[in-house]
Amino acid sequence: MSTEVPAYRPTFPERRLGVGLVGAGAIARTAHLPAYRAWDVPVVAVTSRTAADAEALAADFGIETVHESLDALLADPRVEVVDLATGPVGRVELIAAAVAAGKHVLAQKPLVSDASELPRLAGVLAEARAKGVRVAVNQNARWAPAWRLATLLIREGRIGDVVGVTHLHDKPLPPLAGTPFDDVPHMLLNDYLVHWIDITRCWLEGSTVVGVTASDHRVPAQPVAARNPWGADLRIDVSSGASASIRIVGSAVASAGGCPFWIHGTEGTLRGSVLLGSDRLTLDRDGDSTDFVLEGQWFTDGFAGAMGELQSAVVGRREPENAAEHVVATVRTTIAAVESAARGGIPVHPVDLELTTAREMSGAA
Ligand SMILES: NC(=O)c1ccc[n+]([C@@H]2O[C@H](COP(=O)([O-])OP(=O)(O)OC[C@H]3O[C@@H](n4cnc5c(N)ncnc54)[C@H](O)[C@@H]3O)[C@@H](O)[C@H]2O)c1
């Protein structure tokens, strides 16, 4: 068994592809552009619904061109990758427009949050495949250093077969009351936990989800103004017999927080944490414990990782790891979690989800 540390940092092709940014909101400013600046990714143009925001972003990050419309950005021959930093509403149509223009796409998460959008998405992805255009999703947490290294160690068999994955949120929640999140049903399960669901699936790769059980609840002293529950529990069962658990107790009061995780395997255990400077990873195997020295942080190296993987795949003429088609299973698991919570926490199996999707598509109640 190798004892080398797998290369977990973001990687890019020798020639970085030109990026056209769509959306000039919070995540573009605080994560996409700082990551691209640090990793020498050329952002050649930007457009946004609010022109003033695009102008301000262009001035702050030295972006040469502000386009007045999406069509103008898509017609710009320097734009090879369209970077969608918009919210989920209208995401599929933005991907469709970029694909029609023959551009590769990196779409923010959640890829879609409504099962009724999956058939249309499938059509767009088929068109992309036929055209040789790559569509990837900004599942940037896959490149959070501790999570990425854990993924690579699992792939190398360093803990044997995965038996169980456990995540705990041991940190305050971000400000939620009075934000658009108030209006997202079962917000923690529907949006906030998407990265945790996605990485859990990656660690359980090779098995299929057979059951999802989720619930959310209001917690003691949660402000009335915070309309969405602050506590959530999610359990995922997969075909191998392994299971996963993700728990948010509420907004934890802690001086030094983080998101610890445990990955138990048949031959060893990985223990680690991400966020708030808590990043760490330890491999416990054969009676020895190895602490890895980690370089980088999820914010913002993860964003470089997601873009770098897409660009490497385009140049290498292969599917990216974060291909939309791969992320669809995350979407389906997320939708199942919301469905379970909406039904009072009963288990939802993939077959139930298909029936629900079919019902929604036929317009039946
Ligand atoms: N770690 C992460 O990956 C992470 C963290 C935070 C947010 N996000 C995701 O990023 C996305 C954006 O979040 P945000 O907080 O930046 O939102 P935001 O509302 O601050 O920004 C969205 C921007 O997109 C623009 N926009 C929306 N639709 C458009 C369209 N059709 N054409 C052009 N511009 C359009 C808006 O004008 C705005 O500038 C969300 O899907 C969110 O879930 C991801």
- Residue ranges per structural domain of the chain: 19-140+316-322, 145-297+328-352
Which of the four CATH numbers 3.30.300.30, 3.40.50.720, 3.90.226.30, 3.30.360.10 does domain 145-297+328-352 have? 3.30.360.10
**C-alpha–C-alpha distance, residues 153 and 11, integer Å:** 17
- 151, pLDDT greater than 80: yes
Assigned CATH topology for domain 19-140+316-322: Rossmann fold (3.40.50)
The confidence score (pLDDT) of residue 356 equals: 59
pLDDT at 362 over 80: no
Ligand 1 neighbours by CB, cut-off 6 Å: 22-28, 47-50, 53, 70, 85-88, 90, 94, 108-109, 138, 140, 191
DSSP string, 190-216: IIITHHHHHHHHHHTTTS-EEEEEEEE
Cα angle for residues 248, 169, 154 (degrees, 5° grid): 115
Q: Say what the pLDDT of residue 365 is.
A: 39
Q: What is the pLDDT of residue 224?
A: 93
**Contact of 181 with 187, CB cutoff 8 Å:** yes
Query: Whole-prediction pTM value?
Result: 0.96
**CA distances for 85 relative to 235, 269, 344, angstroms:** 30, 36, 33
Confidence of residue 52 (pLDDT cuts 50, 70, 90): very high
What's the 49 CA to ligand 1 centre distance in angstroms?
Answer: 11
**How much distance in Å is there from the Cα of 26 to the middle of ligand 1?**
7
Give CA 177 to chain center in angstroms: 23
188-211 average pLDDT score:
96
pLDDT tens profile 247-304: 999 999 988 899 999 999 999 999 999 999 999 999 999 999 999 999 999 999 999 9
The predicted pLDDT at position 354 comes to 63
Residue 143 scores a pLDDT above 80? yes
345 Rama class: left (phi>0) / alpha (psi -120 to 50) / beta? left
Q: Which of 48, 199, 301 to mutate to test the pocket of ligand 1 (most atoms within 8 A of CB)?
A: 48
Q: Give the list of residues 6+ apart from residue 347 with CB closer than 8 angstroms, or none.
A: 211, 212, 213, 237, 340
